[in-house]
Each structure stands twice: as C-alpha cells, then as structure tokens.
C-alpha cells in the first residue's frame, strides 16, 4: 500500500513504530522455545522498518496474543531492581541491604541469560567495610585537660574568623582575603609548635584533634591547617594500604586482558590532600 501524506507526516508516523517491542518478543520467543511466533514476528519487524515507504499496519491482535502468551524473562524484570550487583540503603528498614547477583533462570537459552549466568558464576560481593568516624577519634594520644581547653579556645578563634569570611558572600575578594589570613594564622601556630620539639607538637596535635572532633560541624579544618603532616603520618599507619583490582575500564590498567580467572593488580593507596579556601 503506497504511503499517504506529506513528507513531514510520513516521517513523523515512521517514528511511531513498535520495533523495540517486537524485537523483544522475538528474543523472548526464541529464548523460551515459543518458535511458533517467530515467523509472524519477523513479518511485523518488516512492517516496522518499512514505515517510511509503506502504509501497512501492524497486526495488533497478533502482537497482543504474543504478549499474553510469552513468559516474562526473570532478568528483564530483575535488572532494574535494587541490590543487583550493588548494595543499597533501604529507607523503610533504615539499614544497608547487601548486593546480590541478577536473576537468570537456567531454563532459557537466550544470549543475555547465558551472559548473566556466566557473570554470576564469577561474581563476588564487594568485601569493603565502611570505617566509622569513631575509629579515627583516637588517632592521637589522649591530651590532658589544660591543653584540651587551650585547643578549644584556638578552635573557636579560628572558627570565628572563618564564619566572618562566610558572611561576606557578596564580597568575594574580601572573603578570600580573610580565609587566607585565617589559614595562614593556623599554619603559623603549627610551625611555631613544630619548631619547639616533636613531643610537644604531637601533644598539641592530639589536643586540637580532640577539640575538632568535639566541635560543631564544619569546624575541623583548623586541625588540618595546623597539623597536616602529623595527621598524614598517623593516617598512613591506620589505613587500607593496598587495593586489589580485578577489572578496569579507564586508566593504565584498562588495557589488561581480564579473564575472570583470578588475575589481579595491586596498587598502593596514598594519603593526599586538596585545599580549597583553606579547607581540606
């Protein structure tokens, strides 16, 4: 049947086809052994691709019958569910739910089911455990009360300078100037203590670390500005030092031919810092 209408109308109608649904039915029919539908679905594919030059319509009754008769592939239903290959937070139960493999029944013979089954055979959940902030609270020795109170005073003095700068949101240069001055003030205090003795700087760092942990949110940058070298030294002794890589998409490891047979690369992890307006 010759196509009717203007070129614009024909082009618009050609986009309103069911090619995605039909090809899904084809794949499902093949995977589930429902081969009696394949010839009819192949004809419907031809109708869909010829929409630009023909006014033939889909046999909607046939497509509806196929849709009702074909079973739902379990992986197609499961692929958008939470927890597939990755953990997630369950807001109702208020807890983290573990990752799991995607469902793929062995009774179907489609390529995607085979692929998922192969992935599931070698898949392992991520074995990385979140470390709580409490684990880092005792990064230094416990300070005496006198030094702790002095650290609180220094922390509050620094915080007041930072908050003063934050209020100058409309005066960007003035804000940066005050931030730089506050950062430099904290760094100079750390340098003075560092020049006295190693023991002295460790004790003072411990006091400031505790004061920063016990302060309000957003007041911890003072301890990093004053005692960054000491903190990095401590973190190097209290961190995951190596990470096992089993696959990579980008970077220098991307060219490795991963086969899933146990090969891996170990890379070192380094503590580094990035500064922005005096904050780390």
My answer on whether 19 and 52 are in the same domain is yes
pLDDT value for 39: 93
| Inside any domain, residue 244 | no
Residue 107 tokens, joined: 């009774």
My answer on whether 217 and 187 are in the same domain is yes
| Inside any domain, residue 109 | yes
Q: Is pLDDT above 50 for 278?
A: no
My answer on whether 37 and 57 are in the same domain is yes
Integer Cα distance of 194 and 226 in angstroms: 10
Highest mean pLDDT (candidates 107-116, 214-223, 230-239): 107-116
| Inside any domain, residue 160 | yes
Highest mean pLDDT (candidates 32-41, 55-64, 118-127, 249-258): 32-41
Integer Cα distance of 28 and 72 in angstroms: 8
| Inside any domain, residue 182 | yes
Integer Cα distance of 117 and 114 in angstroms: 5
Q: Is pLDDT above 50 for 280?
A: no
Q: What is the mean pLDDT of residues 103-121?
A: 84
| Inside any domain, residue 98 | yes
Q: Is pLDDT above 80 for 272?
A: no
Q: What is the dihedral of CA 153, 157, 159, 163, to 10 degrees?
A: 150
Q: What is the mean pLDDT of residues 180-189?
A: 83
My answer on whether 64 and 78 are in the same domain is no
Q: Is pLDDT above 50 for 102?
A: yes
At residue 279 the predicted structure's pLDDT band, cuts being 50, 70 and 90, is very low
My answer on whether 80 and 109 are in the same domain is yes
Q: What is the mean pLDDT of residues 146-163?
A: 84
In the three-class reduction of DSSP (H, G, I as helix; E, B as strand; rest coil), residue 2 is classed as: strand
My answer on whether 144 and 204 are in the same domain is yes
* Number of structural domains the chain divides into: 3
Q: Is pLDDT above 90 for 72?
A: no
Last residue of a domain, one of 216, 236, 256: 236
| Inside any domain, residue 170 | yes
Is-above-0.75 flag for pTM?
no
- Structural domain harbouring 185: 134-236
Last residue of a domain, one of 30, 48, 69: 69
- Give, for 189, the enclosing helix (H) or strand (E): helix 172-196
């Amino acid at each position: 049947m010759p196509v009717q209408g203007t070129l614009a109308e024909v082009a618009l109608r050609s986009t309103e086809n069911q090619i995605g649904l039909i090809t899904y039915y084809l794949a499902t029919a093949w995977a589930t052994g429902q081969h009696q539908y394949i010839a009819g679905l192949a004809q419907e594919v031809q109708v869909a691709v010829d929409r630009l030059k023909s006014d033939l319509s889909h046999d909607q009754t046939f497509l509806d019958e196929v849709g009702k008769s074909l079973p739902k592939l379990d992986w197609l239903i499961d692929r958008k569910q939470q927890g597939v290959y990755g953990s997630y937070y369950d807001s109702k139960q208020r807890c983290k739910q573990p990752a799991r493999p995607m469902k793929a029944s062995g009774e179907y013979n489609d390529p995607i089911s085979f692929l998922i089954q192969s992935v599931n055979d070698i898949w392992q959940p991520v074995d990385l455990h979140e470390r709580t902030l409490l684990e880092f609270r005792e990064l230094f020795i416990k300070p005496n009360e006198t030094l702790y109170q002095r650290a609180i005073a220094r922390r509050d003095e620094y915080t007041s300078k930072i908050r003063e700068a934050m209020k100058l949101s409309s005066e960007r240069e003035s804000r940066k100037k005050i931030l730089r001055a506050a950062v430099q003030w904290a760094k100079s205090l750390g340098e003075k203590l560092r020049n006295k003795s190693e023991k002295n700087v460790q004790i003072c760092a411990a006091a400031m670390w505790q004061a920063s942990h016990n302060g309000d949110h957003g007041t911890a940058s003072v301890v990093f500005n004053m005692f960054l070298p000491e903190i990095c030294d401590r973190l190097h002794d209290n961190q995951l030092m190596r990470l096992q890589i089993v696959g990579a998409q980008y970077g220098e490891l991307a060219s490795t031919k991963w086969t899933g047979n146990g090969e891996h690369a170990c890379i070192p992890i380094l503590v580094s810092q990035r500064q922005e307006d005096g904050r780390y």
